[in-house]
Amino acid sequence: MDIEELLKQNDLKVTPQRKAILAVLQNTNSFLSAQDLFQRVIAILPGTNFSTIYRNLDVMLAKGLLCRVPSDNGADLYELRREEGHHHHAVCKTCGASIPVDYCPMESLIQELDRKGFLPTEHCFEVYGLCARCRKGKGKQ
Amino acid sequence: MDIEELLKQNDLKVTPQRKAILAVLQNTNSFLSAQDLFQRVIAILPGTNFSTIYRNLDVMLAKGLLCRVPSDNGADLYELRREEGHHHHAVCKTCGASIPVDYCPMESLIQELDRKGFLPTEHCFEVYGLCARCRKGKGKQ
DNA sequence: GATGCAAATGCAAATTACTTGCAGGAGGCC
DNA sequence: GGCCTCCTGCAAGTAATTTGCATTTGCATC
């Protein structure tokens, strides 16, 4: 989808900073930390402040444009929520590769939670380990 | 299991601070942030430093005595790993109640990952939403 | 095209959660 | 009881993120 359309559909004003943020996210297959994103955004639009990045990540997250996943080191990671829909990741602890996983555990759990009266609104499912390359000792250190 | 036994079995020296940490965790059904844990430990053992808490959380995590789960606000949450074994949680965003969930998604995923050559070492699965009480508007705030 | 106003931004300082270096102190094998 | 190693307290440091505020900008309306 067109970036400007995406913003307008979500009642967000179209600003150069937001266009830069979404452009970076659209051109990235794996997910990014806020700081990585910041570095790439200022390459496109120098002068952009990091608080703008953080504020927009929050706004876009609230609008459902993005997904956020926790990571080993403190920094959360972000990625564009794509049309293909919801998915999870297996992340390699050595090289950082992020392998998409189609399976979503909520499918199996929704009934059990419903029986307990619990209404799920969000969930987090991430797998960490070693990818095939790194397992064979071929990944970057 | 006895706290001192637990420490010895894991090659950790038995110190008053460690006993206090484990005592707090044993008496807590849901999980705690490092800061909450710290507050409760100094109630038992005044003078304990928070760096001791953090260092011991890391050590005990590495030994597999504890589980850590990420949370909405920055702070990670910890709980004792109980004998009954591995489980996950549904956490109420209103009252903080943590409902244990027996189901583990890795069971369904292990084969798919294996086919891709990925070796999972850790995973995180948490569900957030509204518990039955809060759904009916009876929870705190 | 000018105007008004809420929303968005830049900047700098503050906050939060956690980490580290170091010197002294305490478990526990001998 | 001695010794060595691990553990702790303290204080300073760090990294990620948030906040307050003054200024600027998008964009609906005139």
Lowest-confidence region among B4-13, B71-80, B109-118:
B71-80
Distance CA A72 to C1' D14 in A: 17
Q: For position B139, what pLDDT does the model report?
A: 41
Closest residue (CA) to C1' of nucleotide C26 is B15
User: What mean pLDDT comes out for the span B39-44?
Assistant: 93
Closest residue (CA) to C1' of nucleotide D27 is A13
SS3 assignment for B62-112: HCCCEEEECCCCCCCEEEECCCCCCCEEEEECCCCCEEEECCCCHHHHHHH
Select the more confidently predicted residue: B88 or A136. Answer: B88
A52 touches strand C (CB under 7 A): yes
| Cα–Cα distance, A97 to A130 (Å, whole number) | 9
Nearest nucleotide (C1') to the CA of residue B74? C17
| Cα–Cα distance, A44 to B90 (Å, whole number) | 41
Per CB-CB distance under 8 Å, the chain B contacts of A94 are none
Among residues A10, A40, A8, the alpha carbon closest in space to that of A23 is found at: A40
pLDDT per position as a tens digit, A86-95: 788 888 877 7
User: What mean pLDDT comes out for the span A104-116?
Assistant: 86
Which of A92, A112, A123 shows the shortest C-beta gap to B103?
A: A112
> With an 8 Å Cβ cutoff, are A122 and B105 in contact?
no
Structural contact between residues A70 and A88, judged by C-beta atoms closer than 8 angstroms: no
| Cα–Cα distance, B104 to B111 (Å, whole number) | 14
> With an 8 Å Cβ cutoff, are B113 and A106 in contact?
no
A76 CB-contact burial (10 Å; exposed 0-12 / middle 13-18 / buried 19+): middle
Q: Which two tokens stand for residue B4?
A: 């001192």
Structural contact between residues B3 and B26, judged by C-beta atoms closer than 8 angstroms: yes
Select the more confidently predicted residue: A45 or B100. Answer: A45
Q: Which CATH number fits domain A86-136: 3.20.20.70, 1.10.340.30, 1.10.10.10, 3.30.1490.190?
A: 3.30.1490.190
In chain A, residues under CATH classification 3.30.1490.190 are: 86-136
Q: B12 to chain A, minimum CA–CA distance in Å?
A: 24
Helices (H) and strands (E) in chain B, counts: 6, 6
Name the band, by pLDDT with cuts 50, 70 and 90, for residue A141.
Answer: very low
Distance CA B83 to C1' D3 in A: 38
Structural contact between residues A79 and A67, judged by C-beta atoms closer than 8 angstroms: yes
Q: For position A138, what pLDDT does the model report?
A: 46
pLDDT per position as a tens digit, A116-135: 888 888 888 888 888 887 87
Of chain B residues 56-75, which have a beta carbon within 7 Å of strand C? 58, 73-75
In chain B, residues under CATH classification 1.10.10.10 are: 1-84
CA distances from A99 to A68, A105, A133, B26, B65 (A): 16, 16, 12, 37, 29
Query: Which CATH class name applies to B86-141?
Result: alpha beta
CATH 1.10.3720.10 fits B1-84, yes or no: no
Query: What average pLDDT does the structure give for chain A?
Result: 85
Instruction: Name B9's Cβ contacts closer than 8 Å, sequence gap at least 6.
Output: none
Q: For position A7, what pLDDT does the model report?
A: 93
In chain B, residues under CATH classification 3.30.1490.190 are: 86-141
In chain A, residues under CATH classification 1.10.10.10 are: 1-83
> With an 8 Å Cβ cutoff, are B121 and A129 in contact?
yes
How close are the terminal C-alpha atoms of chain A, in Å?
Answer: 37
| Cα–Cα distance, B94 to B141 (Å, whole number) | 7
Count other Cβ atoms within 10 Å, centred on residue B3: 16
Which of B108, B118, B124 shows the shortest C-beta gap to A70?
A: B124
Fold that domain A1-83 belongs to in CATH? Arc Repressor Mutant, subunit A (1.10.10)
pLDDT per position as a tens digit, A10-46: 999 999 999 999 999 999 877 899 999 999 999 999 9
The strand pairing partners of B51, in sequence order, are none
